[in-house]
Structure 1
Amino acid sequence: MRRIKSPDLLVAESGADLEGHGLKRSIGPFQLVCFGVGAIVGTGIFVGLSDTVAEAGPAVIVSFVLAAVTCIFTAFSFAELGGAIPVSGSSYSYAYAALGERTAFLVGWCLLLEYGVSVSAVAIGWGQYLNELLENTVGRQIPAALADAPGHGGVVNVPAIVVMALAAVLLVRGVRESARATAAMAVIKIGILVLFCAIAFTAFDSGHLSPFTPEGIGGIGAGASLAFFSFIGFDAISTAGEEVKNPRRNIPLAILITIGVVTLIYCLVSVAALGAMPWEQVGGKPAALSLIVDHATGSSIGSTVIAVGAVVAIASVVLAVMYGQTRILMSMSRDGLIPKVFERVSPKTSTPVANTWIASAVFAVPAAVVPLDVVLDMSVIGTLAIMAVVNICVLALRRSHPGLSRRFRVPLYPAAPLLGVVFSLYLMYGLPLVTWIQFAVFVAVGALVYALYGRKRSRLALSGPPEAPEPGRESPRTPARV
């Protein structure tokens, strides 16, 4: 069964050109860019850098560039689709319009990995730098039993639970307050990373970059798969489609600016970090940026500042990514594919309160008891799969809806979206076999959930609405394709 919902119908149902389902348009372009930076820059660079270095050595710089190229091609696709279909569902809604309901549901299911599971990974990393900060300021750390997952010396990761609860509290208060907090934290963490580069470059030694590829081409590819986690979140910008002022213009603009800023920062941080210390001493070390600053300055003052920045940075990622997850769940709920509780918006705060608390509680569980490496790999493979689908959506919608209003169009079409698919599949190839097996099981469970619940309760199937005609073009009102 192939149910397709036209782009115009998606926009009309969400009220995205007006006020959608109680959501208020209160996010401007600067706040939207800060939201994008806030969703991206966090655990991947502050915590995950050391794991990427362990795979690629000094060639981690190439790994970051390769991951960035993958994101740039897909960012073009998100920019086109985000401007043409400015709704909260992001890639879920794009798949609904281009590939049908079953594929859309599985994309929404995989978004649980990109947003929900990745926010668990981010929350896990927050505790590492919180301990670093406590050690440098008060000489104490959170006991290991309460600061890590079972199997890694702990029982339950309490800091991870705390940061997710704090993000939930802020999100239910209102999107305006959340956007302001995210903007402030984004500015702080960019400043901290610039400070890190300034300090690390004082200890720069080009000899640390030789040999450049100690792990060979395979190490670069494996490193790129891990480095990709550092870019996860830029598509969260498109989940704000119903709360952004002038979304058809500002969403594409914010996506492209965000990717450019983040790529530049990551490349600078990588060069500074590996020029300051031999890669063997960085790879696999927790709180690697603080370690490098301590080495460069010979004191713990610099690392304390880095730790403060990391605590702020990672908290802002939790906030931004959790926001994206709740808006996707809201879109799926509107379509009847998941329970109605997720679409309810509080008339007092104009936020999905129950949705936010449920999502926070559910994803606090893996954050509390699952090791970071397991959570990280699952988040990466789910995100790459979604990015491949988004590029395919651009190709499909160009054919099925050539008259759709597009404020931004993917350059070098169709080469760019095709390359986006190829690069996404290449990075997926670099992930461990066990991750592929876990992902296959996860997708199979999603297909079962759709077959037993979503397929029968789909509002598109129950109401049989007609597809909306393309803009500027009269067409007969025909029932949805089934």
Structure 2
Amino acid sequence: MKAPTTAGGSLSVLQGTALTLAAVLGVGVVTLPALAIEEAGPASMLAWAVLIVVSVPLAATFAALGARHPDGGGVATYARLAFGGRVSTMVGWAFFLAIPIGAPVAAGFGASYVAEAAGGGRTTEIGATAVIIVVVTIMNWLGIRISAGVQLAIAAVIATLLLVAILASLPRVDTDNLTPFLTHGWSGVGAAAAVLVWAFAGWEIVSSLSAEYRHPERDIARATGITLGVVTVLYLGIAFVTVAVLGAATGRAPLADLLAGAFGDWARPLTTVIAVLLTIGAINSYFAGASRLGASLAITGAMPRWLGSDVGDGRATPRHALLVVAGLGLAVLVGEALLDQPTDATLLVTTGTFALVYVVGTAAAVRLLPGGWPRAAAVVSLVASVCLVVLTGLPVLIPIATGIAGLLWTLRRSPHPAQPRTIGGETTVAEPLR
């Protein structure tokens, strides 16, 4: 069923672009260039370039799915339409629970900069991480129009600051830093790509916001195209100047070093501002998408019905699901603090889930999208997604286990068919698992 041509939600193209940009860009741009250089040296730029090339068909695939099937369930809805309720339940559970598991990772990136600037060490970092999660929860609680408006302002500030950092660093490029190029061989490039998957996740979560657009069939493609262009310029620019300017001297905070080198040490605090804004923006998009995913799963009977009992007919913020996501995220943070684990301890589990969700989403696209370029993009995306899963390795077993647990819960519950309700453009109903 295609998306309706009438107006749907409240998101404009610019607001949708801001939410998509924040989800894809994320705070990884502040720290991941250094981690990629550790794995592959100057050749890490190849990993960035390859993942950007992969992002083109991937973004096109999810944009086409969102335009044709606007629904809060996102990938879970596509899986249900293509493969039935059991696959939908499994991918839905894995993805929904991955958001709170990954929330401390994303928030911790920004919080680490706050701790470094303000002092206080790990206590400050844990506290700042919790504050960021709470702030984003409040933003979403106030509704998609408010959070999207704030997101638009954040996106404009972030893009401007990152572009300034790139342009100001170009005069200091030293080509000697580009050799030897394949410092750790081709295997290093693959390892860098596995790390950088985090930087390119995001296309899948905004599919859960597809029903919030005013005109999904038109606006989603526009927002996706703008986002892809901005991400390409910023990611490749930051990756290049990090390698060509800092070289082997790259520290854990390359953006801070770039700004300090261009403007002096007074500019270092700007990195903290950028990191915090990137963090808030990314988590805001994921919480917005995850809350709608949870509500959609609840309405189909794949999750406890309480999660979706406060929404219907395209209105209201799914606050019940939002509270669960935020509460679980804070619980993961508390567990990491008690176990003396870093906030990025669950990074590979989260990226593994994203990669697995890409496989299911793109496989569904191959069945759901019409022939021509949409299906061709889906096939390319499916092959690339399988490669990402292979690169991620054993951590993908955890979301698989989560999905199986969700399926078992669904099979054990008493069947009480849900009433048809709409979260945006498509009516969501419970269907028998098959």
Q: Is TM more than 0.5 here?
A: yes
Give the superposition deviation at 1:244: 1.1
Partner of 1:411: 373
**Alpha-carbon deviation of 1:429?**
2.2
1:46 and 1:292 mapped to 2: Cα distance?
11
Change in Cα spacing, 1:326 to 1:411, as seen in structure 2 (3 Å) is same
Larger displacement relative to structure 2 (158-167 or 300-309): 300-309
Cα separation, partners in 2 of 1:457 and 1:200, compared to 1, 3 Å: farther
CA contact (8 A) 1:237 1:254 kept: no
Equivalent position to 1:192, from 139, 142, 161: 161
Give the Cα–Cα distance (whole angstroms) in 2 for the partners of residues 302 and 410 of structure 1. Answer: 49
1:243 aligns with 2:227: no
Identity of aligned residues (%): 21
- Check whether the contact 1:81–1:394 (CA below 8 A) recurs between aligned residues: yes
Structure 2 unaligned runs (5+)? Answer: 421-430
Whether 1:443 aligns to 2:400 is yes
Deviation, structure 1 residue 454: 5.2
SS at match of 1:88: coil
Task: Name the SS for the 1:291 alignment partner.
Answer: helix
2:33 aligned residue: 49
Please tell me the residue identity of whatever aligns with 1:417: A
Aligned length: 417
Task: Name the aligned partner's letter for residue 366 of structure 1.
Answer: V
> Which one-letter code corresponds to 1:334 in the other structure?
I
Taking the TM superposition and a 5 Å limit, the aligned residue runs for 1:165-176 are: 165-176=134-145
AA of the residue aligned to 2:122: A
Specify the alignment match of 1:30 in structure 2: 14
Residue equivalent to 2:70: 86
Q: Matches of 2:301 and 2:234 in 1, distance apart? A: 41
Name the amino acid aligned to 2:282: V
CA change 1:411–1:441 in 2 (3 A) is same
State the Cα distance separating 1:346 from its structure 2 match: 6.8
SS at match of 1:122: helix
Instruction: Describe the SS at the equivalent of 1:213.
Output: coil
Contact 1:114–1:232 (Cα < 8 Å) also in 2? no
What does residue range 419-438 of structure 1 map to in structure 2 within 5 Å? 419-431=380-392, 433=393, 436=394, 438=395
Is 2:355 the partner of 1:390? Answer: no
C-alpha separation between the residues in 2 aligned to 1:329 and 1:413? 28
The 1-side partners of 2:265 and 2:208 are apart by 40
For the 8 Å contact 1:197–1:273, the answer to whether it is kept is: no
Distance 1:444 1:224, change over 3 A: same
Q: Which amino acid letter does the alignment assign opposite residue 404 of structure 2?
A: A
CA separation in 1, counterparts of 2:71 and 2:239? Answer: 35
Deviation at 1:339, TM superposition (A): 1.1
Aligned to 2:102: 118
Report the Cα distance in structure 1 between the residues aligned to 2:408 and 2:133, rounded to whole angstroms.
32
Does 1:288 pair with 2:272?
no
- Quote the Cα distance in structure 2 between the aligned partners of 1:77 and 1:107: 18
2:173 alignment counterpart: 204
Query: Structure 1 pair 289/458, CA: closer, same or farther in 2 (3 Å)?
Result: farther
TM-score normalised over the length of structure 1: 0.80
Equivalent residues of 1:167, 1:318 under 8 A apart: yes
| Comparing 40-49 and 180-189, the one that deviates more | 40-49
Name the TM-score, length of structure 2 as normaliser. Answer: 0.88
Q: Report the Cα distance in structure 2 between the residues aligned to 1:325 and 1:71, rounded to whole angstroms.
A: 21
Q: Deviations over 1:288-314 (max 9, x none)?
A: 2102322444x3122222321221121
Greater fraction of residues in helix: 2
1:234-257 per-position Cα deviation (integer Å, ceiling 9, x unaligned): 333321222210111112322233
- Structure 1 residue 119 displacement after superposition: 2.6
Distance apart, 1:458 and its partner CA: 5.8
Query: Residues of 1 paired with 2:136 and 2:239: CA distance?
Result: 29
Deviation at 1:51, TM superposition (A): 1.1
**Greater displacement, 418-427 / 193-202:** 418-427
Q: Please, which of 340, 346, 352 is the counterpart of residue 381 of structure 1?
A: 352
Shift of 1:113: 5.7
- Please tell me whether Structure 1 or Structure 2 has the larger radius of gyration of its CA atoms: 1
| Paired position in structure 2 for 1:145 | 122
Q: 1:31: how far off?
A: 0.8
With over 3 angstroms needed to count, the CA separation of the structure-2 counterparts of 1:225 and 1:352, relative to structure 1, is: same
Deviation for aligned residue 1:439: 3.0
> CA RMSD of the aligned region, Å?
2.6
